Amino acid sequence: MDEYCIKTRGLKLFYGEFEALKGLDIRFLSGKTSALIGPSGCGKTTLLRCFNRINERYEGVRTEGEVVVQEHDIYSADTDLVELRKKVGMVFQRPNPLPLSVRDNILYGLRLHFSRKYRDASTLDEALETSLRAVHLWDDLKDSLSTEATTLSLEKQQKLCIARLLPLKPEVILMDEPCSALDPDATAKIEELLRDLAGDYSLVIVTHNMAQARRVSDECAFMLLGEVVEMRRTEDLFVSPRDQRTANYIEGRFG
């Protein structure tokens, strides 16, 4: 029986009077990579930001319906947003490392969220190495951990931003166009990393790059005008879409 990391029921989101998401019922498989594709303005990023309630930072936003993460409706009154964002981490379009050292970037979350007894030197050192190894940065950076993170290449900055989430042991990692600021070589390396992370984490990725969605995702949802037109196994969606609107988008007839 399939297990799902995120399920929505009747999810609507309004920016003022504008209905950006229109009653979505969608489920994302645990331990898989799920991609959201569709033309600009279709609601992909808005949907992604519902999963850690980051939309609420914007004035005039109103949300209806349910978003269930690990069997808990994150829009219920008893949701702790700090705990939610530890479970559901997010990587943005442009790398945003803190203006601190590589070491302090990786350990920032542990130092912020956990008591001192969980932050002894050996625990921190282990978390630092494990996280950097997971994103293929340990060999490159192990001798320059005091280097300010903002001086790294964009590729390494984005990998570092992913690594920064890992000590908190997230269940889901959200990625909003994680390669949009990168050149083709760096994009290929980030995609390789995503394939390596798949299985250990549930990944949900927004991308305008359909070839990228096809390369890295297990399942794919096509969105249009605030609705999910269809969601299927990625290869099935690209080879034999069920909806003509999906076929038109994939074939480049609009978007």
Tell me the domain boundaries of the chain: 4-95+170-250
Collapsing DSSP to helix, strand or coil, 52 comes out as coil
The pLDDT, as a whole number, for residue 116 is 64
Superfamily covering domain 4-95+170-250: P-loop containing nucleotide triphosphate hydrolases (3.40.50.300)
CB proximity list for 106: less than 8 A, separation 6 or greater: 127, 128, 131, 132, 160, 163, 164, 167
The pLDDT, as a whole number, for residue 190 is 96
255 residues of the chain, pLDDT tens digit each: 679 999 999 999 999 999 999 999 999 999 999 999 999 999 999 999 999 999 998 899 999 999 999 889 999 999 999 999 999 999 999 999 999 999 999 999 888 877 665 567 888 999 999 999 999 999 999 999 999 999 999 999 999 999 999 999 999 999 999 999 899 999 999 999 999 999 899 999 999 999 999 999 999 999 999 999 999 999 999 999 999 999 999 998 877
Q: Does residue 203 contact residue 34 with C-beta atoms inside 8 Å?
A: yes
Collapsing DSSP to helix, strand or coil, 182 comes out as coil
Sheet with strand 61-69: strands edge to edge: 18-29, 4-15, 61-69, 72-73
What would the two tokens of residue 66 be?
A: 């349910």
Collapsing DSSP to helix, strand or coil, 96 comes out as coil
For tokens 């903002």, name the residue.
Answer: 150
pTM: 0.94
For tokens 């803190």, name the residue.
Answer: 98
Distance CA 188, CA 190 (A): 6
The pLDDT, as a whole number, for residue 202 is 96
For tokens 């070491």, name the residue.
Answer: 103
